[in-house]
Amino acid sequence: MKQPGSGIAIIGSGSAVPATSLDNVGLSRIVDTSDEWIASRTGIRQRRLANPTLSLAKLAAEAAQAAIDQANLAPTEIDLILLATSTPDDLFGTACLVQAELGANRAVAFDLTAACSGFVFGLVTAAQFIRTGVYQNVLLIGADILSRWVDWSDRRTCVLFGDGAGAVVLQASDRDRLLSFELRSDGTQNHYLNLAFQPQPKEMVDDIAIGQGNFHPITMNGQEVYRFAVRRVPEVIEKALFRANLSTAEIDWLLLHQANQRILDAVGDRLKIPHEKIISNLAKYGNTSAASIPLALDEEVRQGKIKPDDTIVTAGFGAGLTWGAAIFQWGR
C-alpha cells in the first residue's frame, strides 16, 4: 500500500543557454567541415557557447530559478538539489554553489555524474527520495558546458556539442506521475566516449610516486556510439513501456537526448512512433549533454506544445556507457 504523497509530480521546468551562438559556417572557419556535412549527418545548425566568465553554477541557477518560479515555490522550500553534470566548476561539487546562488538554504545539494544520461538518472534518483517520504520538493538540474572540454581541432567531435542548462521541480503527490523507468550501465564500453583524467607520475619521497595531471579533451568513436544508441535506447523504452502497461500509441511525446537527428528518427522508427511526436531542438543547440532533455522539455512546455497530463517517454544515453528511459506525465 502506498502512503499518501508518495507519488511524484513534475510541476515546473526552466532552462538557460549562453547568449553567444556559433553556427556551422562559423565552425567551418575553425575546422575542415561544412554546414552541409554537419546538418545532413546530425541535424545541428548552431550551438550556444559559454564565454570564459560564465560559470556552470550561474547557468544552472538561472534554469533552476525559472523552474522554481513556474512551480510557484520559493527557493527556501526546496529540500534537495541534484545537479547532473560532467563539467563542474569544482570537482568537489558544484551543486552547493547553485544552492548558494539560489538562496535555497534548506536544501541538501550534490552533483550526480552520468554524462548524457544524467537527467534521466537524476529523475529516478530524485524519485527515490520522494517515494521514501524523506523529501517533498526536489530540484533536478541538468547542466553542462562541454565547450570547456571539446577538442576544437577534432572535426569528428567538436561539431556536435553545445552548452546549456535545464531544470525541473519534482514534488510529492498523491497522484504518481512517474509511471516507470529502466536504467542501464556498461563500463566495458567506456572507451567509446571519454573525458578522462590522464595522470603523470610524480616522485614524492623514496619509493612513493603519485599521479598528477589533467583531464584530456573528449574522444569518441562516433560510429560505435551511434550503433549503441540506436540498438539500446529502443530496448529500454520498450521495457519501460511494458512496466507502465502502455503501448507506443498511448505516448504523446518522445523526448530523447538530443545527440543526432538521425538517432532520434531511427529510434522513433524502431518504436513506430510518428515523427511529429519526436521532440527536437538540436538544430539550435547541438548536444548539450545532461541539459538536453530538460532544455527541450522546457521549450515545449513554454510553447504550450506539451500540455498537462501529456504522457512523455524520455531516454538518455551516452558516456559510461550509460542509458535509461523513464515515462512520466507532465504537470501536477
Kindly state the cell numbers that stand for 24.
556551422
Question: Which residue is it, cell 534521466?
Answer: 120
Catalytic residue among 96, 116, 260, 281: 116
Q: Judged by CB under 6 A, which of 318, 324, 325, 327 binds ligand UT7?
A: 318
Q: Judged by CB under 6 A, which of 45, 148, 155, 184 binds ligand UT7?
A: 155
Choose one: 35-43, 133-141, 144-152, 172-180; the region binding ligand UT7 (CB under 6 A).
Answer: 35-43
Q: Judged by CB under 6 A, which of 57, 73, 168, 225 binds ligand UT7?
A: 225
Q: Does 184 bind ligand UT7 (CB under 6 A)?
A: no
Catalytic residue among 24, 137, 257, 260: 257
Q: Are 166 and 13 in contact (CB under 8 A)?
A: yes
In the complex, least distance from residue 57 CB atom to ligand UT7, rounded to whole angstroms: 23
| Spatial separation of the C-alpha atoms in residues 307 and 60, rounded to whole Å | 24
Number of residues located near ligand UT7, criterion CB under 6 A: 19
Catalytic residue among 24, 260, 281, 287: 287
| Spatial separation of the C-alpha atoms in residues 6 and 66, rounded to whole Å | 25
Q: Are 16 and 167 in contact (CB under 8 A)?
A: no
Which residues between 275 and 304 bind ligand UT7 (CB under 6 A)? 287
Nearest Cα to 266, choosing from 237, 240, 306, 245? Answer: 237
Catalytic residue status for 96: no
Q: Does 116 bind ligand UT7 (CB under 6 A)?
A: yes
Question: Which residue is it, cell 524523506?
Answer: 134
In the complex, least distance from residue 53 CB atom to ligand UT7, rounded to whole angstroms: 27
In the complex, least distance from residue 158 CB atom to ligand UT7, rounded to whole angstroms: 8
In the complex, least distance from residue 179 CB atom to ligand UT7, rounded to whole angstroms: 25
Q: Does 260 bind ligand UT7 (CB under 6 A)?
A: yes
- Cα-Cα-Cα-Cα dihedral sign, residues 37, 41, 44, 48: negative
Q: Does 166 bind ligand UT7 (CB under 6 A)?
A: no
Choose one: 38-46, 57-65, 118-126, 145-153; the region binding ligand UT7 (CB under 6 A).
Answer: 38-46
> 89: which DSSP letter?
S
| Spatial separation of the C-alpha atoms in residues 291 and 117, rounded to whole Å | 10
Q: What are phi and psi of 151, to 5 degrees?
A: -85, 105
Q: Judged by CB under 6 A, which of 112, 259, 301, 306 binds ligand UT7?
A: 259
Catalytic residue status for 216: no
Q: Residue 182: CA atoms inside 13 Å, Cβ hemisphere, count?
A: 16
Catalytic residue status for 257: yes
Nearest Cα to 104, choosing from 76, 71, 135, 83? Answer: 76
Q: Are 135 and 182 in contact (CB under 8 A)?
A: no
Q: Does 324 bind ligand UT7 (CB under 6 A)?
A: no
Please state at what angle helix 56-70 crosses helix 292-302, rounded to 10 degrees: 40
- 313: β partners: 254, 327
CB closest to ligand UT7, residue no: 222
Q: What are phi and psi of 258, to 5 degrees?
A: -85, 85
Q: Judged by CB under 6 A, which of 5, 22, 35, 37 binds ligand UT7?
A: 37
Choose one: 61-69, 126-134, 220-228, 236-244; the region binding ligand UT7 (CB under 6 A).
Answer: 220-228
| Spatial separation of the C-alpha atoms in residues 170 and 167, rounded to whole Å | 10
Q: Catalytic amino acids? A: 116, 257, 287
- Which positions lie near ligand UT7, rule CB under 6 A? 33, 37-38, 41-42, 116, 155-156, 159, 220, 222-223, 225-226, 229, 259-260, 287, 318
